[in-house]
Amino acid sequence: MKDTIMPLRDQRVTLAHGGGGKAMRDLIESVFTSVFNPPGMEDQARLMDARLQEPGARLAFTTDSFVVTPVEFPGGDIGKIAVCGTVNDLAVGGAKPLWLSASFIIEEGCEVALLRRLVASMAREAAKAGVRIVTGDTKVVNRGACDTVYITTAGVGVIPPGRDLDARSIRPGDVAIVNHVLGDHGAAILAARGDLMLSTDLESDCQSLGHLMEALIAAAPGTKAARDATRGGLASTLNEMAEAAGCSVELDEIALPLRPEVKGVCEILGLDPLYLANEGTLVVFVPEAEAQAALAAMRAMPEGQGACIIGRAVPKAHVPVTLRTAFGGTRIVDMLVGEQLPRIC
Amino acid sequence: MRYVEEFRDPKAAKILIAAIARVADQIGATREKPVHIMEICGGHTHAIFRYGLDKLVHEGIEFIHGPGCPVCVLPMSRVDDCVTIAERPGVIFTTFGDAMRVPGTRKSLIQAKAEGADIRMVYSPLDALELARRNPGREVVFFGLGFETTTPSTALSIQQAAREGLTNFSVFCNHITVPEPIKALLDDPHMVLDGFVGPGHVSMVIGVHPYDFIAKDYGKPIVVAGFEPIDLLQSVLMVLEQIRDGKAEVQNQYARVVPEHGNPISLAAIADVYERRPRFAWRGLGEIDASGLRIREKYLAWDAETKFGIGYAASPDDEPEGCECAAVMTGRMKPTACPQFGRGCKPETPLGALMVSSEGACAAYWTYGGSRVAAE
C-alpha cells in the first residue's frame, strides 16, 4: 500500500474519472487499491502458490459479470455477489479459490460513497472466502449507458490432484442435496425493487460456498458433481446437469425447502420458485452411501444448515427432470424459456 | 400460507379422487367414452397440469381446456396495434408481463422493446397511472387486457385519471367477457361438452348468475371453482354428481370468495366506463357477438383507440398453416394431436394462440408434460 492516499473530494463519479489522467488515478487509489491492497502496482498480478506446483494439480479459471437492480438489497449488494458468484463457480467445480480480478463499469454520476460501500463489501466477502482481489480495472461511461455500476470478476483457483467433479459421472441412485432454502435471492430482489410494494423480511442467500464444498468433499469423497443454482434457478441447473449426466432427475415436491415468504411472493406473481435465482445455494450429487455423511458435514457449517435431500438421479427418461407432486402426480420441470413473466391473473 | 395449504392437502385430495372415481363408474364413464368437462379458465388449466390432476382422476374424465386465457385469445392484429402505439415517439407503453411475448404479425412487444420502444411491465393499471403522473410530457398507454377479473381495475384507473384531469394517460382496451364465448362454444354443432368448471375469479366480480343460461338453456351443469387442487377436484366431483343425478344447475364451490351476485362496486365501475362492442375477434374462435368491451363516450379522452386513431379490425386473423387451436379450444382435438404441437409450435416459438401464455392449454401440456409424458 502507498504511504499516503489523497482523499477523493468528489462526491460523484464524472467522466474525468475515466479519462486516464490524474482524476482516474485518484479514484482508483482512493476507492479501490487502498482497500483491495493488491500485490505490487504493475498492470498485472504476479502470483505464486505452492499448491499449483503439486503434480496433478490443475488450474481452474472462470469469469462472470454482474448487473443487479437495485445494486444494494437485503442480504447483499452487487459487490458481494460479484465475489460470491465467481468464488462459487470455482468452488462447485472442486477448486480452492485463490485470486480474483474485479472490473468496474461505472455510470457517470454514480456516488463515490456507494462505490466505497461496494468495495468494502467485496473486501469483506473476499476475506471470508479466503481469496484475494489482485487486479482490476475501471471504466466510466455516460449517464444512461449503464445502470449505476456493473462488475466483472474473474477467478483463479487450484484443483487438488485426483479431484474430478463432473456431472457426467452422476449415476442413477445418486442423491441430490441442496444446502439452503430455494429462491431467497430472486424473491428478495423482486421485493426490493419496490414496484410491487411487497413488504417482506426476505434476504438474499448471497454467500461464498468454498468452505462448504471443502467440508462436503472431505466427508463425502465420492461426491460426483455440484453446481450453484443461480440464474434460471434450481430447475435450469438440474436440467443442465441431467443432460450432461445422461440420466434423469426425479425431485420430490414435499422435500423442496422453501420459505413461506418465498412461496407467498410466487403465489402473488404466478412465479415458480424452482426458477428463482439463488446466489449461495448449490445442488450436489453424492452416492447414496455417502448421503448422510454429506448432510451432516454440510449442516455443521453456517452455509449448509438447511441441507436436505431433494431428489435423486434415475435412469434416463424422455425428459431430464421431473417432479413428484405431493399428490403422487408427476410433472415435467423444464428449462425456462426466456424470462419468467408475471401472469395477468 | 393459510387459506392456501389447506386446499393442497394430499389426504383430502385422495378422498376426493376416490369419490370422483366412484361417481364416474356410476355414470359409466370410460377411457373410450369419457365425460368431457371444460375448465374455462386458463388458471384452472395451469393448476390441473401443475398438480398432475389430469392423470390422477378416473380415466373416464377428460378435461377440455377452454378459451379463458386472455393472452391466448387476443387477435394478432391487436398485438400489431400495440406495437404501432408503442413505437410512437413520446409514448410509454405499459403492459402485464405475460403479454410481452405474444407474437403479432410483425413482432411481439418484447421485440419492439429491444428495437427501442419504451415498453414497461407493470403489475396494475394503477402503476401506469403513477407513471403518467411522473411523466407529464409523455403519453402513458396501458394495455387493458383480460376478462372480468382485470376489467374493474382498468375501469378504476380511467375514473381516477378523469378525476385528476390526467390527460396523458389512456387505455388500449381489449377487455373481453366470459359468458359470450361459452355460449358460442355451446352453439357449435361439433361441441362435445358434458359440463363446465367455471372461473372463480371472474365470478368474484360478476357473481354466478351470468351462467344461468348454461344450465337453463343448454341443460349443462356448471360449478364455479377456486384455483387450488382441492377446489378443482371438489368441483369436478360436483359436476359429475349433477350428471349422475340428471341435474343441470349453476353451483358455487368457491363460496369463500365468490358472492352470488358478484361485487357491486366493481360492477358499477365496469358499467360506468365500458360498453359492449357489437362483436370482437378471438384467436381460434373467430368473431363473437358482444364479447368485447370498449370505453364509453364520456371517457373517450382516455381511450387509446380514439387518441391514436386505431379502429377495430372486423375480421379475425388467419391462423398460421396447420394450426388447430380452434379444434383444441372446442374440445374436438387434444393439443398433442395437432400436427404442429412440439414441432412448428413450442413455447419459445409459438404459432397458435394456445402455446403463447403459460395458461394456454398447449403451453401447459408442453410445460408440465401432460401428454409429452404419455406420448413418448
Q: Does A54 contact B at CB distance below 8 Å? A: no
- Which 3 state secondary structure label does DSSP give B95? strand
Residue with the bigger pLDDT between A249 and A196: it is A249
Domain boundaries, chain B: 1-320, 321-375
Q: Which whole number is the average pLDDT over B205-226?
A: 97
- Tell me: the pLDDT tens digits for A268-279? 777 889 999 999
| Lowest model confidence (mean pLDDT) among A132-141, B89-98, B101-110, B299-308 | B101-110
Is residue B92 very low, low, confident or very high in pLDDT (cuts 50, 70, 90)? Answer: very high
Residues of B in contact with A338 (CB under 8 A): 101, 110, 348
The beta-carbon neighbor of A344 closest among B4, B150, B367 is B150
Q: Where are the alpha helices (DSSP H) in chain A?
A: 22-27, 34-36, 78-91, 112-129, 184-192, 210-219, 233-245, 260-269, 291-299
Is residue A190 very low, low, confident or very high in pLDDT (cuts 50, 70, 90)? Answer: confident
CATH of B1-320, one of 2.130.10.10, 3.40.50.11740, 3.30.2030.30, 3.40.350.10: 3.40.50.11740
Closest Cα in chain A to B46: A270
The beta-carbon neighbor of B13 closest among A196, A327, A345 is A327
Whole-angstrom Cα distance, residue B58 to residue A226?
41
pLDDT given for residue B319 in this prediction: 67
CA quadruple A269, A195, B348, A274: dihedral positive or negative? Answer: negative
Residues of A in contact with B108 (CB under 8 A): none
Mean pLDDT of chain A: 92
CATH number belonging to domain A167-332: 3.90.650.10
B29 class by beta-carbon count within 10 Å (0-12 exposed, 13-18 middle, 19+ buried): buried
Find the helix or strand (DSSP H, E) in which B270 lies: helix B264-273
The beta-carbon neighbor of A329 closest among B55, B121, B149 is B55
Whole-angstrom Cα distance, residue A321 to residue A328?
16
Q: Which whole number is the average pLDDT over A156-168?
A: 97
| Residues B112 and B86: beta-carbon distance below 8 Å | yes
Is residue B40 very low, low, confident or very high in pLDDT (cuts 50, 70, 90)? Answer: very high
Mean pLDDT of chain B: 90
Residues of A in contact with B68 (CB under 8 A): none
| Lowest model confidence (mean pLDDT) among A238-252, A323-337, B89-103, B146-160 | A323-337
Residue with the bigger pLDDT between A295 and B73: it is A295
Find the helix or strand (DSSP H, E) in which B271 lies: helix B264-273
Q: Which of residues 46-75 of B touch A (CB under 8 A)?
A: 49-53, 55-56, 70-71
pLDDT at position A197 over 70:
no
State ipTM. 0.70
Question: Could you give the C-alpha distances from B190 to B30, B178, B273, in angstroms and in order?
Answer: 21, 20, 36
pLDDT at position B38 over 50:
yes
Report the percentage of chain A scoring pLDDT > 90.
77
Residue with the bigger pLDDT between A192 and A132: it is A132
Residue with the bigger pLDDT between A139 and B10: it is A139
Residues of B in contact with A332 (CB under 8 A): 367-369, 372-373
pLDDT given for residue A88 in this prediction: 98
pLDDT at position B246 over 90:
yes
Q: What CATH fold (topology level) applies to the domain A15-159?
A: 60s Ribosomal Protein L30; Chain: A; (3.30.1330)
Chosen from A318, A327, A333, A337 to mutate, greatest number of chain B CBs within 10 A: A327
- Tell me: the pLDDT tens digits for B335-345? 888 988 988 88
Q: Angle B21-B23-B28 (CA atoms, 0-180°, nearest 5)?
A: 90
Q: Does B6 contact A at CB distance below 8 Å? A: no
